[in-house]
Amino acid sequence: MFSLKPPKPTFRSYLLPPPQTDDKINSEPKIKKLEPVLLPGEIVVNEVNFVRKCIATDTSQYDLWGKLICSNFKISFITDDPMPLQKFHYRNLLLGEHDVPLTCIEQIVTVNDHKRKQKVLGPNQKLKFNPTELIIYCKDFRIVRFRFDESGPESAKKVCLAIAHYSQPTDLQLLFAFEYVGKKYHNSANKINGIPSGDGGGGGGGGNGAGGGSSQKTPLFETYSDWDREIKRTGASGWRVCSINEGYMISTWICNAITKSHPQRSDVYKSDLDKTLPNIQEVQAAFVKLKQLCVNEPFEETEEKWLSSLENTRWLEYVRAFLKHSAELVYMLESKHLSVVLQEEEGRDLSCCVASLVQVMLDPYFRTITGFQSLIQKEWVMAGYQFLDRCNHLKRSEKESPLFLLFLDATWQLLEQYPAAFEFSETYLAVLYDSTRISLFGTFLFNSPHQRVKQSTEFAISKNIQLGDEKGLKFPSVWDWSLQFTAKDRTLFHNPFYIGKSTPCIQNGSVKSFKRTKKSYSSTLRGMPSALKNGIISDQELLPRRNSLILKPKPDPAQQTDSQNSDTEQYFREWFSKPANLHGVILPRVSGTHIKLWKLCYFRWVPEAQISLGGSITAFHKLSLLADEVDVLSRMLRQQRSGPLEACYGELGQSRMYFNASGPHHTDTSGTPEFLSSSFPFSPVGNLCRRSILGTPLSKFLSGAKIWLSTETLANED
């Protein structure tokens, strides 16, 4: 337990991690005036007092009193009241416990009890009644509800309209990140490159890893050297980095990649993703159904048909399809020694997901935190995955599709099956997903690097920001986790089960020998689909439009499609008959019994689904204590070896673990902490207006827990 006290109302406190000493529960200092905590560039556009935040639908006894504000970044509920029942166990430095970033808002519903009216608020809409209630459906599965019984009816209405307006901007440059970065450039005009070094905010930073242990920077693949290093790391000797696309002239998106192919290009295996995988609309439809099922529908009523309903969403089926197909490509690369070309109409959706999954399976480096981040940077951000459209930051829903979440989900399936193979935890994956909903990080804001440069240059000109020789504004990178979490909280990203190699393969730019039995390649080549018919590939056609590569030096005879399936089967069967080498290839088990629902991600806001004092976190906790104890012992051993002079040196090392053993021999004395639950570190209380659940546990199971309103019933407003 740590830092439960609200940050002081300055923006410095947001950007600097609080001191590490606040490990106790502080009695919350009373803030006399309810003042919002604002970021640079953030302004309050509307606010209303005497608002009640509802905690449960069946009782108002836990409701919180406070002020609701709408800024150009978030909606914020500011209260003196402590959170009832259950506390959050991590906090986002950018957002208060009750805050919702505007880009996280899915739907805004206003209600008037007395007139029995409800309306889903779009942008620029009128509201003919004074709302008594406001319900916010969030993209991260939360549902937040406020009541205005005691507030001024007009100001309540204004706030609702403001939220509707600001959460649905029409122009990219209206997203808060621009305002924030613009402010930062102005504030630090005298500093080189605009952004003060050290806060890692710029594209060049990438931030340090998740916490104590890893101080490695995440390569952003914006520069020649990142690519060059990656090529050396993967041993792809037949490839070179080319800067021909420096001016984004080859295509509208990035192609600062490798253009020379391998001599044996005839042995390329072409995988037509459009034919084998669900398309983005189907993935989106599955996600909508999944969300409806997990959070919107009444808990009790969905119980009886839960399994078939879950199947009907097709979400798990799609996750499985991506894993299965990626595993088959691993077979092509690993066993058949074929280069693989991913074909997709635009080559920037399904192929991002498949290319990443293939690499996570193939290369243990991408299962480290730094590696995973560099993979996302390489295969998603720089590859031109259209985060802006797919996340639907501008509310043009026809292009929305949660492929990135699907990738995180598929990664979670691998993590679930190989818990010791990943440096990161499932909390990390969930937090990463949440971060796509915060419109501050350049990482998830644009449709392509080119768009970032173009739009931010325009913005800079309009705001009189001198860019110098920089290409566009540098936005904060999501990989700079210190912007969001304290060092202590970041330790939650570490998977205590991980069995890592002692050192990563690159240090100071020089390539250390990276042990691989065979040559191993970490990227896939994506080609243009139309030109690859009939297997005839001319030099020009093979020119990858995309950024990455794969090649195998030794060609195999052309594959026979007939026997291919059974060969693949055989390969998998043999692979699974042996114990997995966690530092080599890992393959997913993809039978229906193996693909599971990622409960932490989808159930964390659902009180009825929460197992208090239970869930896998309790085993995680126990193992963390032990791992921490082993760390402490190993430090003590080192001290003993180096003698008393250096005895204090080792103490500087901060624990890698969120949960610490209090002393070397204390592992067994501590029970399961009260605050652990299957939702940890998240807490469903107060984030979903359902029946109250703490009190008697029976209400969880026995009576129909009715959710307030489901979005479905609200479709016809007014």
Partner 1 sequence: MASASTSKYNSHSLENESIKRTSRDGVNRDLTEAVPRLPGETLITDKEVIYICPFNGPIKGRVYITNYRLYLRSLETDSSLILDVPLGVISRIEKMGGATSRGENSYGLDITCKDMRNLRFALKQEGHSRRDMFEILTRYAFPLAHSLPLFAFLNEEKFNVDGWTVYNPVEEYRRQGLPNHHWRITFINKCYELCDTYPALLVVPYRASDDDLRRVATFRSRNRIPATGGGYESDDAYHNAELFFLDIHNIHVMRESLKKVKDIVYPNVEESHWLSSLESTHWLEHIKLVLTGAIQVADKVSSGKSSVLVHCSDGWDRTAQLTSLAMLMLDSFYRSIEGFEILVQKEWISFGHKFASRIGHGDKNHTDADRSPIFLQFIDCVWQMSKQFPTAFEFNEQFLIIILDHLYSCRFGTFLFNCESARERQKVTERTVSLWSLINSNKEKFKNPFYTKEINRVLYPVASMRHLELWVNYYIRWNPRIKQQQPNPVEQRYMELLALRDEYIKRLEELQLANSAKLSDPPTSPSSPSQMMPHVQTHF
- Regarding 702 and contact with partner 1 (CB under 8 A), the answer is yes
Closest CA to 531 of 255, 270, 332, 338: 270
- Regarding 645 and contact with partner 1 (CB under 8 A), the answer is no
Q: How far is the CB of 624 from partner 1 (least distance, A)?
A: 10
Give dist(CA 69, CA 419) in Å, integer. 42
Look up tokens 């192929």; give the residue: 351
Are 120 and 714 spatial neighbours (Cβ–Cβ below 8 Å)? yes
Paired tokens of 120: 């889903």
Are 467 and 188 spatial neighbours (Cβ–Cβ below 8 Å)? no
Q: How far is the CB of 614 from partner 1 (least distance, A)?
A: 4
Closest CA to 425 of 438, 440, 441, 408: 408
- Residue of the chain from 207, 219, 500, 681 that contacts partner 1 (CB under 8 A): 500
Counting residues that bind partner 1 (by CB under 8 A) gives: 67
Q: How far is the CB of 245 from partner 1 (least distance, A)?
A: 41
Binding part of the chain for partner 1, among 141-149, 183-191, 433-441, 597-605 by CB under 8 A, reads 597-605
- Regarding 566 and contact with partner 1 (CB under 8 A), the answer is no
Are 436 and 631 spatial neighbours (Cβ–Cβ below 8 Å)? no
Q: How far is the CB of 56 from partner 1 (least distance, A)?
A: 18
SS3 state of residue 75: strand
Q: How far is the CB of 301 from partner 1 (least distance, A)?
A: 12
Paired tokens of 537: 């590939």
- Regarding 499 and contact with partner 1 (CB under 8 A), the answer is yes
Q: How far is the CB of 663 from partner 1 (least distance, A)?
A: 12
- Regarding 614 and contact with partner 1 (CB under 8 A), the answer is yes
- Regarding 612 and contact with partner 1 (CB under 8 A), the answer is yes
Distance in angstroms between the alpha carbons of the first and the last residue of the chain = 46
Q: How far is the CB of 422 from partner 1 (least distance, A)?
A: 12
Closest CA to 610 of 687, 670, 671: 687
Give dist(CA 587, CA 576) in Å, integer. 8
Within positions 283 to 302, which residues make up the interface with partner 1, using CB under 8 A?
A: 299
Going by the DSSP 8-state scheme, the letter that residue 474 receives in this structure is P
- Regarding 487 and contact with partner 1 (CB under 8 A), the answer is no
Binding part of the chain for partner 1, among 70-78, 192-200, 388-396, 667-675 by CB under 8 A, reads 667-675
- Residue of the chain from 510, 561, 577, 716 that contacts partner 1 (CB under 8 A): 577
Q: How far is the CB of 515 from partner 1 (least distance, A)?
A: 13
Helix (H) or strand (E) holding 178: helix 176-187
Binding part of the chain for partner 1, among 40-48, 497-505, 528-536, 707-715 by CB under 8 A, reads 497-505
- Regarding 626 and contact with partner 1 (CB under 8 A), the answer is yes
Residues 6+ apart with CB under 8 A from 161: 121, 125, 127
Residue among 207 and 500 whose Cβ is closer to partner 1? 500
- Regarding 209 and contact with partner 1 (CB under 8 A), the answer is no
- Residue of the chain from 215, 696, 713, 716 that contacts partner 1 (CB under 8 A): 696
Binding part of the chain for partner 1, among 172-180, 459-467, 515-523, 668-676 by CB under 8 A, reads 668-676
Give dist(CA 516, CA 305) in Å, integer. 48
Cα four-point dihedral sign 378, 380, 383, 388: negative
- Regarding 608 and contact with partner 1 (CB under 8 A), the answer is yes
Max Cα–Cα distance, the chain, nearest Å: 78
Bridge partner residues of 77 (DSSP): 68
- Regarding 637 and contact with partner 1 (CB under 8 A), the answer is yes
Are 269 and 341 spatial neighbours (Cβ–Cβ below 8 Å)? yes
Binding part of the chain for partner 1, among 13-21, 283-291, 351-359, 587-595 by CB under 8 A, reads 587-595
Helix (H) or strand (E) holding 717: none
Binding part of the chain for partner 1, among 1-9, 278-286, 352-360, 615-623 by CB under 8 A, reads 615-623
Q: How far is the CB of 640 from partner 1 (least distance, A)?
A: 4
Within positions 311 to 340, which residues make up the interface with partner 1, using CB under 8 A?
A: 311-312, 316
- Residue of the chain from 610, 655, 679, 692 that contacts partner 1 (CB under 8 A): 610
Residue among 145 and 621 whose Cβ is closer to partner 1? 621
- Residue of the chain from 410, 473, 609, 709 that contacts partner 1 (CB under 8 A): 609
- Residue of the chain from 74, 119, 393, 700 that contacts partner 1 (CB under 8 A): 700
Binding part of the chain for partner 1, among 96-104, 270-278, 349-357, 416-424 by CB under 8 A, reads 416-424
- Regarding 307 and contact with partner 1 (CB under 8 A), the answer is yes
Give dist(CA 703, CA 497) in Å, integer. 39
- Regarding 306 and contact with partner 1 (CB under 8 A), the answer is yes
Radius of gyration for the alpha carbons in the chain, expressed in angstroms and rounded: 26
SS3 content of the chain, % helix, strand, coil (to 5): 35, 10, 55
- Regarding 613 and contact with partner 1 (CB under 8 A), the answer is yes
Residue among 300 and 458 whose Cβ is closer to partner 1? 300
Going by the DSSP 8-state scheme, the letter that residue 102 receives in this structure is G
- Regarding 649 and contact with partner 1 (CB under 8 A), the answer is no
C-alpha distances in Å from residue 705, one per residue of 296, 300, 654, 684, 693: 12, 6, 44, 15, 9
Query: 48 — phi, psi (to 5°)?
Result: -145, 140
Are 524 and 329 spatial neighbours (Cβ–Cβ below 8 Å)? yes
- Regarding 509 and contact with partner 1 (CB under 8 A), the answer is no
- Regarding 697 and contact with partner 1 (CB under 8 A), the answer is yes
C-alpha distances in Å from residue 48, one per residue of 127, 155, 696: 17, 6, 35
Helix (H) or strand (E) holding 255: none
- Regarding 591 and contact with partner 1 (CB under 8 A), the answer is yes
Residues 6+ apart with CB under 8 A from 125: 119, 161, 164
- Residue of the chain from 618, 683, 687, 711 that contacts partner 1 (CB under 8 A): 618
Residues 6+ apart with CB under 8 A from 216: 208, 209, 370, 504
Cα four-point dihedral sign 573, 574, 579, 582: negative
- Residue of the chain from 128, 240, 305, 666 that contacts partner 1 (CB under 8 A): 305
Query: What CA dihedral angle connects 439, 440, 442 and 448, to 10 degrees?
Result: 10
- Regarding 701 and contact with partner 1 (CB under 8 A), the answer is yes
Q: How far is the CB of 701 from partner 1 (least distance, A)?
A: 5
Q: How far is the CB of 592 from partner 1 (least distance, A)?
A: 3
- Regarding 580 and contact with partner 1 (CB under 8 A), the answer is yes
Closest CA to 101 of 173, 176, 40: 176
Give dist(CA 679, CA 288) in Å, integer. 22
Closest CA to 564 of 359, 274, 271: 271
- Regarding 468 and contact with partner 1 (CB under 8 A), the answer is no
Q: How far is the CB of 626 from partner 1 (least distance, A)?
A: 5
Residue among 118 and 678 whose Cβ is closer to partner 1? 678
Residue among 412 and 459 whose Cβ is closer to partner 1? 412
- Residue of the chain from 420, 461, 511, 647 that contacts partner 1 (CB under 8 A): 420
Give dist(CA 605, CA 496) in Å, integer. 25
- Regarding 622 and contact with partner 1 (CB under 8 A), the answer is yes
- Regarding 467 and contact with partner 1 (CB under 8 A), the answer is no
Give strand ranges (E) for 513-663.
Answer: 525-527
Residue among 45 and 694 whose Cβ is closer to partner 1? 694
Paired tokens of 155: 């100001």
Residues forming contacts to partner 1 in the complex (CB under 8 A) are 299, 303-308, 310-312, 316, 417-420, 497, 499-500, 502, 573, 576-577, 580, 589, 591-594, 597, 599, 603, 608-616, 618-619, 621-623, 626-627, 629-630, 633-634, 636-637, 640-641, 664, 668, 670-672, 678, 696-698, 700-702
